[in-house]
Amino acid sequence: MREGYLNLQKLNQIAQDHLRTKQDHLLSLQEQVKEKVKNMKQEEERRNERQMAIQSIIEMKRKAKVLKLKTSLCEKNIETRRTTQEQSKAEHKRSEDKLRNPDDTRTYELMNQRDYLEIELTEFQDKAKDYKMKMAKYDISRRNRNNSKTSNKKKTT
């Protein structure tokens, strides 16, 4: 009977040792799983950052295209205004040359025409200034909106 008891104790000891090794193995597996999960999260974050960087580059390229188009339109408008101003100056010079004509009625007509052209030129220049100011305000407000959008995106992420 004593031998049976000793055999049971020995079997119990073997079972406990086996249980400890299994528990140690389980703990090491849990640590490995935790490490893998951590690595996967870091990799996901890196992918997300890379994707966000790509999106911001694409958005910047789009904005650059729009700005190039706006710039070219502004340059065309400026060139058109320049040619119009040069034409107005040429008309003004012709009017002044004709004013030297001794015919009084013709002189008054030309003087009136000159005054009218000067007023038109002044109004046109004022409109050009207003247009430039509106474009500057629009660009500033657009930049502010874009900056607030990007800052909101950064806050949410």
pTM score over 0.95: no
Ordered per-residue pLDDT tens for the chain, 157 residues: 778 888 888 999 999 999 999 999 999 999 999 999 999 999 999 999 999 999 999 999 999 999 999 999 989 988 999 999 999 988 888 877 766 655 667 777 878 888 899 999 999 999 989 999 999 999 898 888 888 877 776 666 5
What is the separation of C-alpha 78 from the centre of its chain, rounded to a whole number of angstroms?
26
State the CB neighbour count (10 A cutoff) for residue 62.
Answer: 10
Would you tell me the crossing angle of helices 2-99 and 104-156 to the nearest 10 degrees?
A: 180
Cα dihedral across residues 139, 141, 147, 153: positive or negative: negative
Q: What is the DSSP letter of 102?
A: S
3-class SS at 100?
coil
Q: Where are the domains of the chain?
A: 2-156
